[in-house]
Amino acid sequence: MAPEAAEERLLALARKAREAILPWIDERASGAIRGQAASGDVTYQIDMVAEEVLARETPALFPGAALFTEDEGLRTFDAWNGQTLVADPIDGSRPTIGGLECSCVSLALAEGGEAATFADVVAAVLVEIRTGKAYAAGRGAGARRLSERGEPLPVILSRNENLSTLFWSFEYCARPVQPLSLVYSELINGSSHKGSCFMWAACTFSIARLLGGQIDAYVDIWQRLARDFPRLGDWSRRMFGKVGGLMPYDMAAAWRIAVEAGCSITDERGRALDGKPLLSHRQEDVFGCVAASNAPLHAQLMECLERGVRDRAASLSHNTPWTREAW
């Protein structure tokens, strides 16, 4: 299937999922906990609604493709042709339940069978659940931004390279506040007057904001802290039963779209994501992300975050998030 045709089918599927989700977004029942996903995250009622649409519609729209989701992992329907629809039916379940706009249907089509990596994503879409705005990209074909009615909108990447005027977002969901606040403090304090920082609990929504020029960057480096400072990782396992972070399905579509739009996007250590395994719920494949609208800004962010880790190393090494006095 040509990337252009794949994009259109992904858009059609994402819009069907959105239509099923919309009646639930202002209902408190949407937040009823229904179990635990294969990834270890909580499954809400609203997640199940979206998951059912993808399971029902995928075989017709993508014959021979498998489906890989947060809740169910890998599912095949017919003879598998090596293509896989990698989906997060609702990235941003919590803000959706809370009545906010910060959520997307995230779909990526990848080749390569079980060995697929990020580089194998051939087409990707994000559809904002509240607004219906969409973002789409094909491998090597650039990125598109669309209105709810499918009309083209300009892709606008910020040229800002000044950290004091930075508009950016970060993650705290299932991550300890104290150590991250220490590392992020220079960015938060420096941008709080002329810029701003946001916590949306939806990485795809943050990447979408990059394409509209509304923000300059997205940051999530918790995985680095958890691995470099074992006491922090131990705390996370005690608190949540796992060390939180981004799963491949969280970022598969957003990564392809960001790359094709011209953003600078890496993991939490500044490494490329191209070779990262795609069809995985394994803890060792959880990662972080630093994404920026331009390469000079990305370099500045990495330097700032490196200072934050280095300057706070003593506290990060010897304290744990549950000892309030230590911070």
pLDDT at 41: 60
Residue 325 has pLDDT above 70, yes or no: no
Average confidence (pLDDT) over 61-70: 95
Domain end residue (candidates: 153, 175, 191): 153
Same domain, residue pair 41 and 91: yes
Measured between its terminal Cα atoms, the distance across the chain in Å is 54
Domain end residue (candidates: 106, 122, 153): 153
Residue 30 has pLDDT above 70, yes or no: no
d(CA 153, CA 250): 24
pLDDT at 2: 77
Contact yes or no for 134/127 (Cβ under 8 A): yes
Same domain, residue pair 74 and 201: no
Q: Which domain holds residue 25?
A: 3-153
Residue 166 has pLDDT above 80, yes or no: yes
What residues have CB less than 8 Å from 92, skipping those under 6 apart? Answer: 102, 103, 104, 129, 200, 201, 202, 204, 205
Same domain, residue pair 142 and 16: yes
Amino acid at 56: R
What residues have CB less than 8 Å from 319, skipping those under 6 apart? Answer: 178, 179, 231, 326, 327
Average confidence (pLDDT) over 130-149: 97
Same domain, residue pair 270 and 172: yes
Number of C-beta neighbours around residue 165 at 10 A: 15
Phi, psi for 76 (deg, rounded to 5)? -110, 150
Same domain, residue pair 170 and 136: no
Same domain, residue pair 186 and 271: yes
pLDDT at 36: 57
How does residue 34 score in pLDDT terms, banded at 50, 70 and 90?
low
Q: How large a percentage of the chain has pLDDT more than 70?
A: 92
Q: How far is CA 295 from CA 137, 151, 242, 256, in A?
A: 20, 29, 32, 16
Residues 220, 231, 310, CA angle at the centre, nearest 5°?
Answer: 55
Q: How far is CA 239 from CA 37, 232, 242, in A?
A: 17, 11, 8
DSSP tag of 219: E
Number of C-beta neighbours around residue 119 at 10 A: 19
Average confidence (pLDDT) over 271-283: 95
Same domain, residue pair 185 and 167: yes
Give the residue among 154, 157, 155, 118 at the shortest CA–CA distance from 139.
Answer: 118
pLDDT at 38: 55
Same domain, residue pair 173 and 281: yes
d(CA 197, CA 206): 11
d(CA 116, CA 49): 27
Structurally, how many domains does the chain consist of? 2
Same domain, residue pair 93 and 174: no
Same domain, residue pair 295 and 186: yes
d(CA 39, CA 249): 10
Domain end residue (candidates: 132, 153, 174): 153
Same domain, residue pair 169 and 317: yes
pLDDT at 225: 93
Instruction: Supply the pTM of this predicted model.
Output: 0.92
Give the residue among 268, 257, 83, 68 at the shortest CA–CA distance from 184.
Answer: 268
Q: How far is CA 125 from CA 15, 219, 258, 300, in A?
A: 10, 21, 11, 29
| Residue with the larger pLDDT of the pair 264 and 25 | 264
| 63 domain-assigned | yes
Average confidence (pLDDT) over 81-87: 97
Burial 281-296 (b: 16+ CB within 10 A, else e): beeeebbbbbbbbbee
| 158 domain-assigned | no
For the domain that residue 276 is a member of, what is the CATH number?
A: 3.40.190.80
DSSP tag of 246: B
| 282 domain-assigned | yes
Same domain, residue pair 169 and 300: yes
d(CA 276, CA 115): 10
Average confidence (pLDDT) over 43-55: 83
d(CA 51, CA 20): 10
Give the residue among 105, 11, 112, 16 at the shortest CA–CA distance from 65.
Answer: 112
For the domain that residue 11 is a member of, what is the CATH number?
A: 3.30.540.10
